[in-house]
Amino acid sequence: MKVTAIYVYPIKALRPIRLDKARLTPQGVQYDRRFMICRVDSADPSRLTKVQIDKVYPCGLFQQEMAGDAIHVSYLTPKDPVAPAHPMQDEVLKVPLNPDTSDLHTVNIDLHLSMVTAYRMGARYDDWFSACFGFNAALVYIGHGRRPVLGTYAPHVLIDRPPPQQRGWLSTMSGHGAGTGQPAKDKPWLAFSDLAPFLVASEKSLANVRARIPSSDVSMTAFRPNIVVDGESDYDEDFWAELSANQEPFLTMTKMCNRCSSLNVDYDTGRIADGERGTVLKKLMSDRRVDTGAKYSPVFGKYGFLNGGQENMLLSVGDEITVTKRADERPVFDWPLRARGAQPQFYQDS
**Is there a contact between 201 and 238 (Cβ–Cβ < 8 Å)?**
no
Residue 217, pLDDT score? 86
Side-chain half-sphere CA neighbours of 119 within 13 A:
17
Residue 111's nearest CA partner among 147, 155, 146 is: 147
Residue 214, pLDDT score? 87
Residue-wise burial string across 8-39, b where 16 or more C-beta atoms lie within 10 A, e elsewhere: bbbbbbbbbbebeebebbbbbbbbbbbbbbbb
Residue 276, pLDDT score? 94
State the Cα–Cα distance between residues 277 and 83, nearest whole angstrom: 23
State the Cα–Cα distance between residues 85 and 14, nearest whole angstrom: 20
Q: Which residues contact 50 (CB under 8 A, 6 or more apart)?
A: 36, 38, 39, 109, 110, 111
Profile the chain (350 residues) by mean pLDDT over runs of 10 residues.
Answer: 98 98 98 98 91 97 97 97 97 98 97 98 98 98 97 73 42 32 68 98 97 91 98 97 96 98 97 96 97 97 96 97 97 95 87
Helix (H, G, I), strand (E, B) or coil at 243: strand
Q: Which residues contact 53 (CB under 8 A, 6 or more apart)?
A: 13, 59, 60, 224, 262, 265
Q: Which residues contact 49 (CB under 8 A, 6 or more apart)?
A: 38, 39, 41, 110
The span from the first CA to the last CA of the chain, in angstroms, equals 36
List of E strands, 172-330:
189-190, 198-202, 227-229, 240-245, 248-258, 265-266, 271-272, 299-306, 314-316, 321-327
What are the angstrom distances between the C-alpha of 248 and each of 16, 103, 154, 243, 315?
27, 43, 20, 8, 11
Side-chain half-sphere CA neighbours of 314 within 13 A:
6
Beta-strand pair 265-266/271-272 = antiparallel
State the Cα–Cα distance between residues 131 and 61, nearest whole angstrom: 13
Residue 211's H or E segment, with its range, is helix 203-212
Q: Is the pTM of this model over 0.75?
A: yes
Residue 29, pLDDT score? 98
Domains in the chain with CATH codes? 2-158+189-335 (2.40.33.20)
State the Cα–Cα distance between residues 244 and 319, nearest whole angstrom: 10
Longest CA–CA span in the chain (Å) reads 59
